[in-house]
Structure 1
Amino acid sequence: MRARLIYNPTSGKEALKKSIVDILNVMEQAGYEASAFATTPEPNSAKKEAKRAALDGFELVVAAGGDGTINEVINGIAGLEKRPKLAIIPGGTTNDFARALRIPRDNFVEAAKVILKNQTIHSDIGKAGETYFMNIAAGGYLTELTYEVPSHLKSLFGYLAYLVKGAEMLPRVKPIEMKLEYDDGVYEGKASMFFLGLTNSIGGFEKISPDAQLDDGKFSLIIVKTANVIEIMHLVALMINGGKHVNDPRIIYVKTSKLYADAIDPDFRMMINLDGEYGGDAPMTFENLKQHIEIYANLDEIPESAVSGEAEKASDEFIKQVEKLTNEDIDGDGKISNED
C-alpha cells in the first residue's frame, strides 16, 4: 500500500518540516510505502497533488497543515469516484476538523500515530456549488470577521484575535434580507448570518452546534435573526454556557441535508465563507455528502467533549467583557458607546 504525505512547510512556524522524517516513519509502521510532497505558493498546490496521488492509486493521503491545507486536500479527492483514505496532521491556528476528530493538535508525530490505531470514520463532507468543505459554510455580516483578522494575529493570539476583532466589528453588523430554503422549511426575512456546520467545533468552540454528528448526513443550520449588538453578545454568551443559544427565539436551529441561500435584494452582495475562506457569492446551493470520505480518527475520544486551553481563555475573556457592559454603555439602537 502507498501513502502520500502532503504538507505545508510553513505550518506551525515551519516546525512541521522538522517532523517529516518521523511522520513518514509512522506511516511506514502502519504498513504504507510512504512519500512526501511539500506544497508551494502556487494556487491549489495541495489540491492538485491530492488529486494526482488519488488518480495514481495511492491508498492513503495524509494532509499536514492548517485548515486551509486540509480543505485543499479534501477538494482534491472529494470529487473522485474512487477516493483514498484520509489522515490529518493539524498544524494551523484553529484546527477545527482535527479537534472534532480528537486528533492531537500539539504534536505532529502523535497526530500521525492515530493512523496506527487503525480507527476510521466515514465522514460527511459539504458541497457548495463545485467546491467542497469539511467544517463550515456561512453568509452574512458576521462572517466577515474571518476575513478581517490578519493571519499574523491568528498565529499569535489564536481565538483571542477573533474575539477582539469581533468586538470591534459588532457595531457594524447589519441585518440582510435572506431567503434560506432547507429540508423542512423556508426562512425569508432579516438575519445577520446563516451558518452550516458539519462538526461541533467552530473557531475552537464546541458548543455552536452541540449535537452535531460527523456521519449523519445532516448539517446543523443556524440562522441568527437579530443584528442588535447586545443581543448578539448575549447569544454568544449562551453558546459558551453550554450551547443554550439553540433554544433562543432569536435563533433558528435545525438539521438539514441541503440548503439554498440567497440575498433577497438583487443589488446586495452576500459573500459565502467556506471553511474560513471566501468561497463565492450567493445564490448558492449546499449539499451534505453523507459518509463521503473515510478518515482516520481517534474514535476512543470522539464521544467526549474537549475544549483547548486557548478556547477556555477566549471564553473567559468574552464572558468578562459581557459582564462589563452596562445599560449606560449602550444606546437605544444597541450600539456600544465609544466614551471608554
Structure 2
Amino acid sequence: MLVDIPDFTIIANPISGRRRSVQIAMMAYQKLLRYQPKGKLSFTESIGDAYRLAETALEEGYRFIVACGGDGTIHEVLNAICQSEKDSILGILPSGKGNDLARELNIPSQPTRAIDILLSGQTKYIDVGEVCSLTTENSQSTKKYFSTIATCGFDAEVGRRVTENKVFSHFWGSLAYVVTAVTTLPIFQPPTAMIKGDFGIYQGPILICSTGITTSYGGGMRILPNAVLDDGQFDVCIIKPVSNWTVLFMLAKLFWGGHKNHQAVKIFRTTTLSISTDPPMKIYADGEYVGNTPKQIQILPKRLKVIVP
C-alpha cells in the first residue's frame, strides 16, 4: 500500500450517481478498514455539508479525506482543505454527472478500480484556483477555491440551470449540459466585460469566459483542450457573441476541442485574471456558484495533494 496514512474519512453525497454513491462509499469504507485502523464514513444531507464534514474531520486529525460524489462534492471538500493549514490528501470516488476532475486524473468511474487506487495509488500535487473579491477586503473564509474550471457567461448560466433545475436531472453526464445549453440559448443576453490577465486586456461583449486548470467541464466538453493540471497557469477561453446556430456547431466541436480554431474564440494563458461585467454576472466554478462579478482569480501552484493511479 503506497498511501501511508493511518486514518481516513469518506464523505459521500447519497443522491449522487442516481444514489449509486451510497453503495460505492460503503464498499470503500469496508475495504479501507482492512488496511487502515481508523476510519469514518459520513453522508451529506444538504448543500454545504461536505464542506462542514471535511472541516470537522481535519480538525479531528484526519488527513486522508475521500470525496464520493461528483465535482460539486469534491468542490466542497477542496474548499475545506484549502482553507485549512493542515497537511492532507484528497481521494476521489467519482459518481456524479460530470466527474471532470476524476477524468483528468485518470481515475476510473468503475467503483472497484477507483477504490483500489485509494489503496495502491500515488500522490500528485495539482494546481488550485482561488476566487476572491475585487471590491471588498478578502478574508480566508470569503475566498473560494476550485480544481477544474471557473465560468462566466453562457456556460455559467448553463451550469446553474443543470444544478438547480430538476427537469435536467433526468439527463446524465454531458447530455445534461448539451440539452440545457440548447434551451438556454434563446434567453441568454451576453454581457459587456473587462478582462485582465498576463495576456493584456480584453474589453467587449462576451458569450463565454472560462478560466481553468482542467481541459473539460460538463462531463467531457473540452473547452480548454491544452490545459495542464500542474503547470502553474490557467488556460482562458474567451468567446465573442455569435449566432445561435454557430453556438450549436461549436457545442458539437467542444468534445474534441475543435472550437478553438473559430475566429470568435481566443485562448490565452495567465497566472491571474480579473473580470468585471455589465450587468454583473454569476460565476460558477466546479459547477458551483462562487459569487458575482467583479472577481479576481489566481492560480495556486500545486496546492492540492491527491491520490491518482
Q: TM-score range by the shorter chain?
A: 0.7 to 0.9
In the TM superposition, 1:1-340 aligns within 5 A as: 1-31=6-36, 33-41=38-46, 43-107=47-111, 109-129=112-132, 130-149=143-162, 150-151=165-166, 153-205=168-220, 207-240=222-255, 242-263=256-277, 265=278, 268-298=279-309
Query: 1:26 corresponds to which letter in structure 2?
Result: K
Report the Cα distance in structure 2 between the residues aligned to 1:146 and 1:288, rounded to whole angstroms: 22
Which amino acid letter does the alignment assign opposite residue 262 of structure 1? S
Q: CA deviation at 1:206?
A: 5.0
Matched-pair contact (CA < 8 Å) for 2:221–2:254: no
* Higher Cα radius of gyration: 1
With over 3 angstroms needed to count, the CA separation of the structure-2 counterparts of 1:139 and 1:21, relative to structure 1, is: closer
Q: Is the 8 A contact 2:232 2:301 kept in 1?
A: yes
- Return the offset for 1:116: 2.2
- Describe the superposition over 1:36-91 as per-residue Cα deviations: whole angstroms up to 9, x where unpaired: 112222x4211112112122221201111122111111111112222310101112
Q: Is the 8 A contact 2:173 2:218 kept in 1?
A: no
Preserved CA contact (<8 Å) 1:47 1:73: yes
Amino acid at match of 2:260: V
- Inter-CA distance 135–40: structure 2 relative to 1 (3 Å threshold): same
Read off the aligned partner of 1:72 and give its amino acid letter: E
Q: Which sections of structure 1, spanning at least 5 residues, go unmatched?
A: 299-340
Indicate conservation of the 8 Å contact 1:30/1:115, yes or no. Answer: no
The TM-score normalised by the length of structure 2 is 0.87
C-alpha change, 1:77 and 1:48, in structure 2 (3 Å) is same
The answer as to whether partners of 1:271 and 1:278 remain within 8 angstroms in 2 is yes
Is the partner of 1:200 in helix, strand or coil? coil
The CA deviation string for residues 241-273 of structure 1, in whole angstroms up to 9 with x for no partner, is x4232233211101111110001x3xx121111
Q: Partner of 1:313 in structure 2? A: none
When normalised by structure 1's length, the TM-score is: 0.80
User: For 1:288, what is the secondary structure of its paired residue?
Assistant: strand
- Does structure 2 retain, via aligned residues, the 8 Å contact 1:175–1:226? yes
Q: Tell me the matched-pair count.
A: 292
Contact 2:198 2:270 in 1 (8 A): yes
Alpha carbons of structure 1 residues 155 and 27: separation in structure 2 relative to 1, 3 Å: farther
Deviation of 1:155 after TM superposition, in Å, equals 4.4
Residue segments in structure 2 that go unaligned for 5+ positions in a row: 1-5, 133-142
Q: Describe the SS at the equivalent of 1:78.
A: helix
TM-align CA RMSD: 1.9
